Every structure is written in structure tokens, then in C-alpha cells.
Structure 1
Amino acid sequence: MTIPSGTPKLTERTPWLQPRWFVKLFWKAHRAMFRISGGRRGLWPAKDQRWGALWLTTTGRRSGQERSVIVGYFEDGPNLVTLAMNGWGEAEPAWWLNLQAHPQARVQLVDGLRQVVAHAATGQERARLWDRWRSLDKDLDGYARRRPVETAVVVLEPATEPV
């Protein structure tokens, strides 16, 4: 019998998470705080040993409308790196599905706006960036085991042309 990739093994520690309703409510409140404060609250820069928070605006894959979300990130040279983990829920996050259809996006950081183009890291790049995330979150592998699919490592590269 084969165990699907990402399935927790009984011998591995699976970290505790807040209930799904709480995670969703928290992120809705976080986005509302960002909007109500006019962008003055809710984002923070990434540091050497701490991930930051950015406001990501994508184009809806079906609607064509702008869709925004707050995600965690760290900097990798000129690139920003995030995880398509949907609060460690089973489904892929809508923003990642949108980026797969329309890779051009806009991010707002504490220090300003950037136009970016997204791609999923693969191979050695994915392994290196996953290890970097692991250094920021000791429970990363345990959280990732909760998902039935591999969690995409999303690289947001600076756009060379206006988006």
C-alpha cells in the first residue's frame, strides 16, 4: 500500500493548529484592519529570522477582477517568496490558482508597491527555498503534512515590464 505524499505518518509529530473557522476569521479580520487603516497597519517587513507580511493583488482567473490577500513572505535577493498553503487547509488558495492563470501581480510592502511575475519553484530552487522557510518555522514540515498535495513555493520576481 502506498501512502500519498503529504500524508502524516504516525511516528511524525503533527503540530496543532487553530480550528479552520478561526484561521479564516483571523485572516478576514487582518485584511479588514489593513483596509480600514488605509494600509498603515497589517504589513511588516521580513527580517533575517522572521517572515514578513505583504498585500498581494492578483487578477481573478474567471472574473478578471482584482483580488487581494495578505500572505507571509521572505526576501530571496530581489525576489519575494511565499507558500501556497491556504492556512494549511486542503484546497489550493484562490490567489495561487489566479497566479497560475495570470502570473502578473502587484504586491504592497511596508516600503511601497512592486510589480511582480509569479512562478512555482521546482527542483533545487524549491528545496533551497523550502529549507529557508523551515529555518523561519520549525513546524513547517508538520503543517505541510496536513495537506493532501505538495505545498507550492511561490516566487514573485520583479516584473521587467509594467503589469
Structure 2
Amino acid sequence: MDFNQQIVDTFRANGGEVNEPMRFGKGLVLVHVPRKDGSVRIAPLAAIQEDGARYIVASAGGSPRNPAWVYGLRRAEQVDIEVPGEPVETVRTKVEELSGEARDAMWARFKEFSAGFAEYEKTAEGRVFPIFRLVG
């Protein structure tokens, strides 16, 4: 079973809490990302909840390239996300990519959320990680 599918299955089976194979707690959402061919990819992503929105970052583990799902979110006006709860709930959200100071401030929050995000900057070859606001 691939790593992401294991995370998705654990998320859904445990009310959105994931502590194996990595410790995420309830800090994840499952984003239903539309593809060009009309299918949907489910991406488990770390999320910061603030001011009635959830924020996700396209860090790709510090890769110098954006993950493929970034382009699907840039094309979408709305996406469904699965959020922690008993049971896990699916919510339709509007998608907004942050830029400028808003993006930089949220990037600082992600680095506070997990030191791993700061480490990603070292291997990303200068790539600025896209950050999206999901609100519904």
C-alpha cells in the first residue's frame, strides 16, 4: 500500500486523527484535487486552521518542484476537503492562493507548526512554496 493511501485510510478510520506511520494528530485534511482528465486525486495535507479557514502548503517534502496537485488547485474555484470529526466530514471550500505578505506570514506559521517545514527550505533550491486558503 502506498504511503498516502495508508494516511488516507488511517484518517478515515480514526475520525481524522493520524499518529501512524507519522504523528499528525488532527492536523490533516484530505483535499479532493481535480485533475485535467476529470478524475479526482485525494491528497492528505498538513493544515493550519485559523479564522474559519484551513491553510495548506505545497512543500512536497522540500522538493525543488511543486507537487502535481498545485496545478489542480490553481484551476479550481472550489474543492471538497475531508476534515477531522466523528464522523469525518466532507466540506465544500473555496480555494484562494496566498501571495505577498499574506503568504509570507502563513509560511512563518507553518514553520512554527513544524520545524520540518523550515528544513524543506534547504533542499527546495529557492522554490517558494505555494500556500492555499480553503474556506467553506
Give the TM-score, by structure 1 length.
0.67
Larger Rg: 1
Q: What is the count of residue pairs matched by the alignment?
A: 125
Residue 107 (structure 1) aligned to one of 81, 100, 103: 81
Give the TM-score, by structure 2 length.
0.78
1:81-105 residue CA offsets vs partner (Å, 9 max, x unmatched): 0111122223211221101112310
- Unpaired runs of 5+ residues, structure 1, are 1-24, 159-163
* 8 Å contact kept, 1:54–1:73: yes
Residue 154 (structure 1) aligned to one of 93, 114, 132: 132
> Which runs of 4 or more aligned residues in structure 1 lie more than 6 Å from their structure 2 counterparts after TM superposition?
none
Q: Which amino acid aligns with 2:132?
A: V
1:125-161 residue CA offsets vs partner (Å, 9 max, x unmatched): 1122112112112242231231132111111122xxx
Q: Does 1:68 align with 2:42?
A: yes
Q: In 2, Cα distance between the equivalents of 1:51 and 1:135?
A: 16
* 8 Å contact kept, 1:44–1:110: yes
* 8 Å contact kept, 2:59–2:120: no
Q: In 2, Cα distance between the equivalents of 1:72 and 1:89?
A: 16
* 8 Å contact kept, 1:80–1:157: yes
Q: What is aligned with 1:137?
A: 114
1:3-30 residue CA offsets vs partner (Å, 9 max, x unmatched): xxxxxxxxxxxxxxxxxxxxxx533432
Q: In 2, Cα distance between the equivalents of 1:28 and 1:85?
A: 19
RMSD over aligned Cα atoms? 2.3
Percentage of identical aligned residues = 14
Q: What is aligned with 1:58?
A: 33
1:64-87 residue CA offsets vs partner (Å, 9 max, x unmatched): 112211111010111100111122
- Secondary structure of the residue aligned to 1:63 is coil
* 8 Å contact kept, 1:44–1:54: no
- Unpaired runs of 5+ residues, structure 2, are 19-24
